[in-house]
Structure 1
Amino acid sequence: MPSRRDTDFTAPDFDPDAFLDLVAADVGLIQRQKLHDILSRNANVEYLQRHGLNGRTDVASFKQCLPVINYQDVETDILRLVNGDTSAPILTAEPIVEFQLSSGTMGGKPKYIPTTARYAEYSLFYQSLVNAMCKKQFKEWRNGKSLDLRSAGKLTDTPSGLKAGSATTNYLKSAMFTDPRIEPDVSCSPIEVYLCDDFNQATYCHLMCSLTQAAEIVKFHSLFAASLVAAVQILQKCWVEMCEDIRSGTPNAKILNPELRRAMEKILKPDPQLAAMIERECSKNDWAGIIPRIWPNTVVITTILSGSMQHYVPILKHFAGNNIALVSLFYGSCECHLLGLNVRLNCPTDQVEYMIWPESAYFEFIPVAADDSHADNIAPHSTGKKTRQLVDTADVELGKEYEIVITTVCGLYRYRVGDVLKVKGFRKTTPIFEYIGRQNVVLSIASEKTDEAELNSVVHKAARQLEGTGTELAEFSSMADMLASPAPCYVLFWEITARCNGILDAEVLQKCTNTLDLSFNPRYRRWRNEGQIGPLELRIVTEGAFKQLMDSAVSRGTSSSQYKTPRHVKSPSSALEILDAAVVATFKSHANPMGNVDPPPS
């Protein structure tokens, strides 16, 4: 497998496509080498010894001895590392240098994922490759500046003496962030903005820096599309103050962080002409194409757009206009930095696919059958139950769906990430996947099971009722209300944004509610028909409610750059309290679960 050590991605003659073909030529060989490398390096660690591998590195022994696990199965071992247990190498022979924290928005509390120095090396490799691919696809990438909306959260001290933080926070506070091989000096913002752990102050300053250099900005970037949308919404709310800052050359009083304020004082110079241009564009009622109107040389926006982030694509397109490319660069997770790479950067946003990256980890795949795609369809090896046969990377089949399982350099063995992928094709021997969504169930009352992919699909179908009303769905979440009368029911929380003098129409929102209720899976409709599930409720929350949700999560340690809106909230929870307090209208379905709509009660 080619490595960073023998590849110069900055060389004028470097050809990303030729390099990708080289990687993709024999995925089976690369994967066997990867597993051998991981197992040989960690032959004596406690976890592998416990399961009887005894130094063997072949695929057959590995699969025979080691169970398929999730985080809960290995949490005890990880917490030993967090608490400073150095009695023996537990999961990996290489020293743990820090812990990645998951966002915690999927399953409640964050996960601690151990990280080694080799993980950092891989990060340098992948980001250098991605930069080379973008430079080839977008000639403007080589010049101009970037509005990069990342910002660091807080690091947590652990009893081991090591720090724990989100992947973004750990990266921004590491030496890698200032390594010119990874991060060329093209950002419009100084490092003080990235290191500010207050999302609102950091985003305000990112925007201010980009406004003062508007003609030089050629690309926008954030980890998730949600952060980009949130940034434009802050501009919508604060443009008057920003114009005054630019007109006077003085940072707003809301910039309280001393380092941040000093950095902004160096950048800001009085510019009444620029302030007038921004004021002219932002004062218009219609924000369509606001990005090219203010940043006229922007050619590309890079951010994750697949999975739950697809919800943000329409509003991003609205802000970006027709001539700015929206690009989803890669597919990754906190457990494994890079799972797949988008090798077709010019593809439409609804056709984003990723080539599995065989050097990241050893991959296996659990087939997801059509009749149990919502079920927890494989039992850990240690339970003694029949285990569905896992498929190697070289053996996946076109058109089929799989749950991905990883074995990593950082000590996770046969670990279920929880994501479902669909095979869409191959590059040489290496599969190319579409990200379908999380395997976990987000809503269930009776025996019906609704996963994230289905919830997204149903919500977007219902939201089409808003077309032509001057309003659009900005954010959503859900819950199962087990105390509802006459029966437990699904509850959807919607935050709706009005533009062009649009107003909320009760009749349209009732149609949305009915459409939601009629669009879930057949088992849901069966239980609705039999009365074991009650009529669905749609609760409209005030604008800004989901921003409060994010602020609450960030205040508890979640990185604003890595935050993902929870598509399901639990009862009771602080998230539910925030949403319930923001409800301004409630609609109950009049739909007959057999496919009709009953008249509303008199």
Structure 2
Amino acid sequence: MLPKFDPTKPESCLSLLEDVTTNVKQIQESVLEAILSRNAQTEYLRGFLNDQIDKPNFKKNLPVVTYEDIRSYIDRIANGESFDLICDRPISVLLTSSGTSGGVPKLIPMTREEFEQRITFSSLCAPLLHKHIQGLSEGKSLVFFFVTRESETASGLMVRTMITCVLKSVNSTNSFLWDRFQISPHAIATCEDTTQSMYCQLVCGLLQRDNVVRLGAPFASSFLKVIKFLEDHWLELCSNIRTGRLSDWITDAKCVSEIGKFLTAPNPELASLIEQECSKTSWEAILRRLWPKAKCIEAIVTGTMAQYIPLLEFYGGCLPLVSSFYGSSECFMGLNLNPLCKPSDVSYTIIPSMAYFEFLEVEKDSQETGHDPAENSEVVDLVDVKIGRDYEPVVTTFSGLYRYRLGDVLRVTGFYNNAPQFRFVGRQKVILSIDMDKTYEEDLLKAVTNAKHLLEPHDLMLMDFTSRVDSSSIPGHYVLYWELRSKVKDAKLEPDPNVLEECCFTVEESLDAVYRKGRKNDKNIGPLEIKVVKPGTFDQLMNFFVSRGSSVSQYKTPRSVTNEEALKILEANVVSKFLSRKTPFWELHELHSSR
């Protein structure tokens, strides 16, 4: 666990980071010892350890597991059995993850102690930002948060997202911290009507535009949803500011009350300024224009979020993009110690106090042959990872997860003191496959990134995308759904067929040799297809998944869709279709070199 420190003193935070990244091996040994000694008598550990809680016995006898392997234990706790099935302390909440298992969000156990540790971990981010970015103390943050409606299990355990847990933990004794740093009142951020909350957070941010020094949201995707919402509602927002009267459809009592503290009188001058900026033919740099004192945009822009970087740079006028930390519902893991680095260069330094960390090496050979890396790879300790290699994290936590595979792929980029630094590569999951080909999330993201460069000379932006395999044709083929937008406001969207067909081909050229061989020589894979969908389609897709338990704050567009209802939404919004007209290049030596 993290040592005690004063989060209000930057020097204390930075000193702690130096200590924990230096004494990595000792901290990891003590973390494992503490977890095993405290939880040795749980039903789960008793079945494997036989009262021997030393590290060699742990490594030898405890299996490396996935969520499905331990799901029965979590279900039993959810249904009322005792927490000591897996943990020595009460489970205070079940976190619902942004990922899914069998179409249903995972439920991750968390104790009160673990929650407090995550809050402490998060408090380390601010000193790092202040160290690298001048002027952050001269104003407040307009960071958009949203709660998700919570539920209860049969036994009365609360089921919440991590962000909802954090927002609900703010109370009368610590609310002064929220008010000190955030532009929007806490009562507005915790409004369960996301639309009303988003609107009122924007009202607060616009009314106090000269006091905003930091913009953002938990993920790049959720921040872009806010920008899209602003595009759709700026006229109404200006009307509210001009008249000093909030729209009648804002009915949440707390929102109305809190906005009343800011929207106290007509402000036609501010309304005209906002109207002038928003009515320009291009929304390039709109964030910098509306919030001129903003120093950065803070949001996760690594992994699948990386595809949104060009959009944030366009709207932000090249405001620095800061991706502060790496974590999941299962465990908070690493911090970005160089917040002003390029988004493509972000590496997270693992904080060894947060859990016991092991790593499964992920090799391309095992991915291409479909073998599970857990069957062949040695599980190595945190201090034993090698620079340049890819690994899947395996975590053991104080809240009852033991040798649990996170499913992410991380690449070691270096060390800070003795703590490894990792770049997030993607998820350890094949998302498209027809024949012998296996396309991973990382591969598809790279291919789409290469292709969308072709849109730039035509003032087009790729707003979002997903994919699927169409097996109805013979041979089967990859289908990409693209939502496009013009950089020129209100311009008619008529993409040049030649450009989109070239995009299809560029995606294919960017995929691996196995795919290209299947296309060229074996003819086991048909030409790749791009289907352009109507503006707003991916909002509909998000609403569908949110209705099934996802959170707006944590929602990530799935890069491959198999759900039939979701596919119906996509297909109903298709406005044009394009096929690759050329066959990608392939040579025999490429196949051997890729193995």
Please confirm whether the aligned pair reaches a TM-score higher than 0.5, indicating the same fold: yes
Partner of 2:162: 167
Amino acid at match of 1:170: C
The answer on 1:449 being equivalent to 2:446 is no
Q: Distance in 1 between matches of 2:52 and 2:135?
A: 50
The answer on 1:358 being equivalent to 2:352 is yes
Deviation of 1:518 after TM superposition, in Å, equals 2.7
Q: Distance in 2 between matches of 1:362 and 1:518?
A: 41
Instruction: Give per-residue Cα distances to partners, 1:562-584, cap 9 Å, x unaligned.
Output: 111111100x4221111111110
Match of 1:24 among 21, 25, 34: 21
User: For 1:373-388, what aligned pairs fall within 5 Å after superposition?
Assistant: 373=367, 377-378=371-372, 387-388=376-377
Partner of 2:559: 567
User: For 1:433-472, what aligned pairs fall within 5 Å after superposition?
Assistant: 433-472=422-461
Amino acid at match of 1:276: S
Partner of 2:545: 553
Amino acid at match of 1:117: R
Q: Distance in 1 between matches of 2:102 and 2:309?
A: 25
Q: Distance in 1 between matches of 2:469 and 2:2?
A: 49
Deviation of 1:107 after TM superposition, in Å, equals 5.7
* Greater mean alpha carbon deviation, residues 369-378 or residues 253-262: 369-378
Stretches of structure 1 that go unaligned for 5 or more consecutive residues are 381-385, 597-602
Cα separation, partners in 2 of 1:440 and 1:396, compared to 1, 3 Å = same
Deviation of 1:135 after TM superposition, in Å, equals 2.4
Q: What SS does structure 2 have at the residue aligned with 1:221?
A: strand
Amino acid at match of 1:83: N
Match of 1:259 among 254, 257, 263: 254
Deviation of 1:531 after TM superposition, in Å, equals 2.5
- What RMSD, in angstroms, separates the aligned Cα atoms of the two structures? 2.0
Deviation of 1:374 after TM superposition, in Å, equals 5.1
The answer on 1:191 being equivalent to 2:186 is yes
Is this contact kept in 1: 2:461–2:485, CA < 8 A? Answer: yes
Deviation of 1:460 after TM superposition, in Å, equals 0.7
Partner of 1:89: 84
Is this contact kept in 2: 1:488–1:532, CA < 8 A? Answer: yes
Partner of 1:600: none
Partner of 1:215: 210
Partner of 2:33: 36
Cα separation, partners in 2 of 1:460 and 1:331, compared to 1, 3 Å = same
Deviation of 1:153 after TM superposition, in Å, equals 0.7
Instruction: Give per-residue Cα distances to partners, 1:380-399, cap 9 Å, x unaligned.
Output: 6xxxxx54211111111111
Deviation of 1:240 after TM superposition, in Å, equals 0.6
Partner of 1:60: 56
Cα separation, partners in 2 of 1:104 and 1:346, compared to 1, 3 Å = closer
Q: What SS does structure 2 have at the residue aligned with 1:372?
A: helix
Partner of 1:345: 339
The answer on 1:312 being equivalent to 2:304 is no
The answer on 1:237 being equivalent to 2:228 is no
Match of 1:369 among 344, 363, 369: 363
* Greater mean alpha carbon deviation, residues 249-258 or residues 311-320: 249-258
Cα separation, partners in 2 of 1:321 and 1:277, compared to 1, 3 Å = same
Cα separation, partners in 2 of 1:90 and 1:558, compared to 1, 3 Å = same
Q: What SS does structure 2 have at the residue aligned with 1:72?
A: helix
Amino acid at match of 1:525: R
The answer on 1:46 being equivalent to 2:35 is no
Amino acid at match of 1:491: V
TM-score, normalising length: structure 1? 0.93
Is this contact kept in 2: 1:549–1:578, CA < 8 A? Answer: yes
Is this contact kept in 2: 1:377–1:388, CA < 8 A? Answer: no
Instruction: Give per-residue Cα distances to partners, 1:272-318, cap 9 Å, x unaligned.
Output: 00000000000001111111211111011111111011111111111
Partner of 2:9: 11
TM-score, normalising length: structure 2? 0.94
Partner of 1:599: none
The answer on 1:510 being equivalent to 2:501 is yes
Q: Distance in 1 between matches of 2:260 and 2:171?
A: 27
Partner of 1:495: 483
Q: Distance in 2 between matches of 1:240 and 1:177?
A: 36
User: For 1:394-409, what aligned pairs fall within 5 Å after superposition?
Assistant: 394-409=383-398
Match of 1:121 among 100, 116, 125: 116
Partner of 1:383: none
**Count of equivalent residues:** 582
Amino acid at match of 2:486: A
Amino acid at match of 1:22: D
Deviation of 1:105 after TM superposition, in Å, equals 5.5
Amino acid at match of 2:42: V
Deviation of 1:171 after TM superposition, in Å, equals 1.8
Partner of 1:291: 287
Amino acid at match of 1:575: A
Amino acid at match of 1:526: K
Is this contact kept in 2: 1:353–1:434, CA < 8 A? Answer: yes
Q: What SS does structure 1 have at the residue aligned with 2:484?
A: strand
Amino acid at match of 1:207: L
Identity of aligned residues (%): 39
Higher helix fraction (1 or 2): 2
Amino acid at match of 1:25: T
Q: Distance in 1 between matches of 2:504 and 2:471?
A: 19
Q: Distance in 2 between matches of 1:183 and 1:192?
A: 11
Amino acid at match of 1:408: T
Q: What SS does structure 2 have at the residue aligned with 1:413?
A: coil
Deviation of 1:64 after TM superposition, in Å, equals 0.5
Match of 1:415 among 404, 411, 417: 404
Q: Distance in 1 between matches of 2:60 and 2:173?
A: 44
Stretches of structure 2 that go unaligned for 5 or more consecutive residues are 588-595
Cα separation, partners in 2 of 1:249 and 1:297, compared to 1, 3 Å = same
Deviation of 1:200 after TM superposition, in Å, equals 2.3
